[in-house]
Amino acid sequence: MTQVRLKKHSAPLSGTLSFPGDKSLSHRAIIFGSLSEGISSFKNVLSGEDCVCTREAFEAMGVDIKSSSDGTEVVIIGKGLHGLKEPKKELYLGNSGTSMRILSGVLAGQPFKTTLTGDPSLSSRPMKRVTSYLRQMGAVIEGRDDGNFAPLTIKGGKLKPIDVSLAVSSAQVKSAILLAGLYANGTTSVTEPVLSRDHTELFLRYFGANIKQEGLKVSIAGGQTLNAKSFEIPGDISSAAFFMAIAILLKDSAIKFQNILFNETRIGIVKVLERMGAPLMSAGHDKLGRPEMMADFSLMTQKLRGTEVMREELPSLIDEIPILCVLATQAQGKTVIHDADELRVKETDRIDSMITALSLMGAKIKSEKNTILIEGPTPLKGAVVDSRKDHRTAMSLIVAGLIAEGEQTVKDVDCINTSFPTFFKLLDQLKISYQL
């Protein structure tokens, strides 16, 4: 168990930052490269533990994947949709819910049996939201609590198409069903109440699949082929969000951000910051042969005002809610984040972890059922706080420590490596002091 100690940072910050590849895109690059016909190559792949788990799973199923020494440049010799082999042992997916849920869709169409396992945190996260639909398509799935918790054993085979409406928007569930749909005899459709991240739809089109979009309904026909592609993955906006908060909160600071993912379904944090009085400056956008948009922009110190975040906005900023809680403690007035129940089933209960830790620091924060209420601005004081082995909780509490009086200790920060292995290097680049 590693902990970090830090104190309030008073010096102005400036500089230009680049970020590791987006985690969602890195997962999908490995998945789509493995399932494509031909050789794909990707630059700026996230080398965090979650994405390594996805890579190792496909290697265990016979895919030849070569990478640079730091893991950020990857070449994949695709096996096509029907070229995977039965792994010789269980596929261990660590802490990665994305890996387990999306891989379940791929494995549902394979003519072999596979068991997916994970660490204690992943093994406590609900999977029936995926497995119930894959069972409807014809996959045989066994697991604890009738397939709700890992280990999951999936026996794939010939699948039939389904047309489903999700009760809760989820990019992972949608992606699993669409990828399983590639193996179905007919057209599979998914309708969401609110549009979730659309990375899988963009990747499917980019890799040559024909999909149909009608409002909140997306459909895909089985029997298609994916074709190899090569591109550079934009920086992760969910990782950049912690440094966006640093730029806004630390006095007299101005930071430039380069090559950041700017997908419309992922920039909810940008829209909320604008409402709070911290708009991006000099945002330029382009695709340049990629499936996804990216942008350069700047942020500087700003006085914030409270805002309301409605349920329908949450799919576009669900991973940014912990750092938004920190920002809200310094905003004038009340911030309300409505119906954030999805935070209860992340790597930890992020509603409880953030309320517990920020309350120890003196914040006026509470929940009413699954709605978070924060009054500000409130001076924060350093405390000993626990990440609960959740990477986004850990990084949010480190940012909070930079504006708190006294010393802050954040326990269990090894988990940051799951999504942002260069987090501390970027703190070093900005000359922010801390002790591991």
What are the catalytic residues?
319
Q: 166-171: long-range contacts (C-beta < 8 A, 24 or more apart)?
A: 166/190, 166/191, 166/192, 166/193, 167/193, 168/129, 168/193, 168/342, 169/193, 169/194, 169/195, 169/196, 169/315, 170/129, 170/196, 170/315, 171/24, 171/196, 171/197, 171/198, 171/199, 171/200, 171/265, 171/315
Torsions phi, psi for 141 (to 5 deg)? -130, 130
Q: What order do you get walking across the sheet with 384-386 strand by strand? A: 4-7, 407-411, 384-386
- The token duo for 302 is 């700003």
Q: Are 260 and 234 in contact (CB under 8 A)?
A: yes
**Residue-wise DSSP of 355-400:** HHHHHHTT-EEEEETTEEEEEE----B--EEE-TT-HHHHHHHHHH
* DSSP assigned state of 404: S
